[in-house]
Amino acid sequence: MISDFPFAKFENSSVEFYDGQAVKLPKEYRRKSNFSLLHNFYSNLLLNKPVEIEIGEDPLGFHFFQYDYICIIGIVCQTQRRSKFNSLKKKYPLNQFSTEFLKHRIIEEHKLANHKEHIPINVVSQNLHEIRGLNAKVTSNVDVLLNFEDEATWEDKFDSANVNLKKIYVASRLTKFILDNTKFYDPDFWDTLELNKERFFVIHRCVNKIVKIYRNDFKLEKPDLEFTGNSYRKLAGDKEYFEVLIKILVENAYKYSPYKKLGPKIKIVENDKRVNIEAHSYGQIIPNEDRQHIFTKGFRSSVNKGKAEGTGMGLHNAKRLVEKFGGSIQYECNPIKSEQDIELGWNIFKLEFLNTYSPQKNAFA
């Protein structure tokens, strides 16, 4: 058990006393002369597991707070006798708390200990690691079943593949994207991420793959996704991260396209070595006052709060990823009309890559 406060606990048929992480155990609990007295008192006390918070005074004059199997000890409260309170307060000022505060904290610690509201990060990490391994096996096996020999034949073979196999493929890729997203919450991730610039991939194929995945996902009654443009120029880096970048862009466009008849649009525009990838979604235009913050970590525009679920991390992660590929991301808009003081039109997020490579560039991806 971990607690911010000193606590008593049964260990191997004996009562043991522990320091808290924030508040230390008063030294009187360590004295051998007090051992028998305290052991007898807390042995009887800990036999009970009250369903309501119980507050009392132990033989040393300190307060205890007990709830279920949690027993916080060594606390100084104003409800003690005045002379005892003044003596303990002077000796242990850091152990003084109000009863209401401790009642609230012992409930919170009980929730944490029983995983009622939060799951320990080590448990989550271990489960994610196992899921990632299992999903990798599913992905590799479905590739074999679909007979994808290489990236060049993927586009044609996917369209003609068995419907159920395509669904398995899509589910495995979407699961991988979800698992990849958890990496971005590591505070050191962006500082340590280095792309392999010895690898090259075709831009169009990556974009087309993500478009096909989202066209074939499991969501019903969604607007159509339009994809136009072409570019067989290449980028240097890990295509897996580029696919995550495009996934964020497509998912963001889908999420904020509330009108089924006007679905999101993905466009590729090539101009010499420059390649732009644009994601258009029709809806309420992002207000001027929000635009300077839309790539800020955790920020959500007033347009989307309460309308669509989100963490405010997507566009921030997109900005960090596109910069790793030597590109940039900008927001533009194309207002169409106003309805009841709401400006409607196209919200456009544009990725721009100024230095791409010819299709003949040697590729390992």
| CATH code (residue 196) | 3.30.565.10
Shared-domain flag, residues 136 and 37: no
pLDDT of residue 31: 94
Indicate whether 221 and 327 sit together in one domain: yes
What distance in Å separates the CA atoms of residue 351 and residue 99, rounded to the nearest whole number?
56
Domain termination site, one of 55, 80, 113:
113
Q: Of the candidates 183, 206, 222, which is a domain's last residue? A: 183
Q: 293 and 160 share a domain?
A: no
Same structural domain, 313 and 203: yes
* Cβ(255)–Cβ(324) below 8 Å: no
| 354 domain residue, yes or no | yes
Bridge partners (DSSP) of residue 229 are: 268
Question: Do residue 109 and residue 124 come from a single domain?
Answer: no
Which residues 6+ apart lie within 8 Å of 220 measured at CB? none
Cα–Cα distance for residue pair 317/300, rounded to 1 Å: 13
- Based on the structure, what is the number of domains in the chain? 3
Of residues 309 and 73, more confidently modeled = 73
Residues 95 and 149 in one domain: no
Q: How far is CA 105 from CA 38, 101, 110, 112, in A?
A: 24, 6, 8, 10
Mean pLDDT (the chain) is 88
Residue 58's pLDDT band, with cuts at 50, 70 and 90, is: very high
Write down the pLDDT at residue 365. 40
Rounded average pLDDT over 232-255: 92
CA distance 47 to 226: 67
Q: 263 and 134 in one domain?
A: no
Residues 148 and 249 in one domain: no
Given 113, 138, 170, which residue is the final one in a domain? 113
Per-residue pLDDT, 310: 65
**pTM for this predicted structure:** 0.69
252 plus 215 within the same structural domain: yes
Tokens of 338: 């106003």
196 and 275 in a single domain? The answer is yes
Q: How far is CA 244 from CA 11, 178, 225, 285, 289, in A?
A: 49, 10, 18, 25, 28
Comparing CA positions, the residue from 231, 219, 301, 298 lying closest to residue 263 is 219
Q: What confidence tier does 49 reach under pLDDT thresholds 50, 70, 90? A: very high
What is the percentage of the chain residues whose pLDDT exceeds 90?
53
Residue 155 has pLDDT above 80, yes or no: no
User: Are 226 and 143 found together in one domain?
Assistant: no
Co-location of 272 and 363 in the same domain? yes
Q: What is the reported pLDDT for 145?
A: 84
Domain that holds residue 160: 120-183
Is 2 inside a domain boundary?
A: no
**Would you call 75 exposed, middle or buried from its count of C-beta atoms within 10 A (0-12, 13-18, 19+)?**
buried
- Model confidence pLDDT, tens digit, residues 89-102: 899 999 999 999 99
**Rounded-to-integer distance, Cα 279 and Cα 348, Å:** 6
List the one residue out of 275, 281, 279, 172 whose CA is nearest residue 218. Answer: 172
Distance CA 266, CA 230 (A): 11
Q: Residues near 280 by Cβ (< 8 Å), separated by ≥ 6? A: 253, 264, 265, 266, 267, 346, 347, 348
pLDDT of residue 306: 56
Other CB atoms within 10 A of residue 82 CB: 8
